[in-house]
Amino acid sequence: MTEDTKTEQPIVIDGLVFYSDGSARDMLAGGVNAINLTVTDMQADFATAVEDAVRWRRLCADPQSDWHLITKKEDFFIARQNKKLGLIMGWQNARPLGDRLEHIGLFQELGIRIIQLTYNEANLIGDGCLESRNAGLSNFGIQAVQELNNVGIAIDVSHCAPQTCLDACQHSTKPVLLTHANPSVVIQRPRNKDDKVIKAVADTGGVIGCSIHAYLSWRGDPKQQPLLEDFVQCVKYVGNLAGWDHVGIGTDFPSVKTYEAVRHVMVMSRTKYGASGGDFSDAFGDVMEARYPVETPTPEQFPVLLQALEKGGLNTAQIEAVAGGNFMRALDACWSV
């Protein structure tokens, strides 16, 4: 047996982490190898997005930091070998692009590797999931999808309107991602996706990252936090519907020293986007731990998610694919130009 064989372990990737204050502590403690981290605010402009990308690049370049920048498939293994947390720099809103297609290539050069087309409301690219008109991609949005393919940035449609999702799948020649979304057939929430969207994403070669976050996994009982068994049900539903090559995990956790670091995000989600999860905040308040199952209040409990999948009947190959193998395959295809 070679040394590589002895140490071979499945890569674990969290498809969406919405914020970090620079701490990788709990993710590393939970055995996570890489995360798609929202590195700039959802309403950031061009200049702010550039500054944020540069700041994270500097952190990853520091030999003393716990982070390793992920820009290609090989970096997942380098991060794990060096016992660092792999950083996939991502956005949850394409707003920093403005109306300039050439900005896409610039941000690829800076290391951005995943861009969500819209965040809840409409932007120049298309409609978000809280827009009632469901108009889909604009002409500029279609061009943006094509340019994202060309330069090697993955497309995320998690917060997009249904027609925007379908349009992106139609016009993309690379896998399209739902980094954090659950099937609406299992749990009816404003941000969850119907079977048509899930199948369309899978048909591109993409991955649906099922989530434990309350805004995606809560059934509406004001006395009951999200249940881990509902997360397992979502994973199994997507696997059976779309195929086991198209399921992942996108927790929508933060990676922080303390949840006080994300209080501003909790308030923003309750006030600005109340239609998405205000009912949950009304029931539980701005309490981050309450937004996740009792068994998994922080990323440190990530192994519990995988144990729950095993208890739910998934075999070893399925669990390894869901844990990170599927996201790594799809991202490699998106990044290859």
pTM of the complete model: 0.96
pLDDT band at 264 (very low <50, low <70, confident <90, very high): confident
Q: Is the pLDDT of residue 95 over 60?
A: yes
Give residue limits of the domains in the chain.
12-335
Q: At what angle do helices 274-284 and 263-271 cross, to 10 degrees?
A: 120
DSSP conformational letter for 13: E
Q: Could you give the CA distance from residue 323 to residue 14 in angstroms, rounded to a whole number?
A: 8
What does the mean pLDDT of the chain come to? 96
Q: What is the per-residue pLDDT for 3? A: 38
Q: Is the pLDDT of residue 6 over 80?
A: no
Q: Are strands 253-255 and 67-69 parallel, antiparallel or unpaired?
A: unpaired
pLDDT (tens digit per residue) in 231-256: 999 999 999 999 999 999 999 999 99
pLDDT band at 8 (very low <50, low <70, confident <90, very high): low
Percent of the chain having pLDDT more than 70?
Answer: 98
Q: What is the per-residue pLDDT for 272? A: 87
Non-local (6+) Cβ contacts of 1 within 8 A are none
CATH topology of domain 12-335: TIM Barrel (3.20.20)
Lowest mean pLDDT, pick from 119-128, 261-270, 278-287, 317-326 = 261-270
If residue 277 lies in a helix (H) or strand (E), which one and from where to where?
A: helix 274-284
pLDDT (tens digit per residue) in 192-212: 999 999 999 999 999 999 999
Q: Is the pLDDT of residue 7 over 80?
A: no
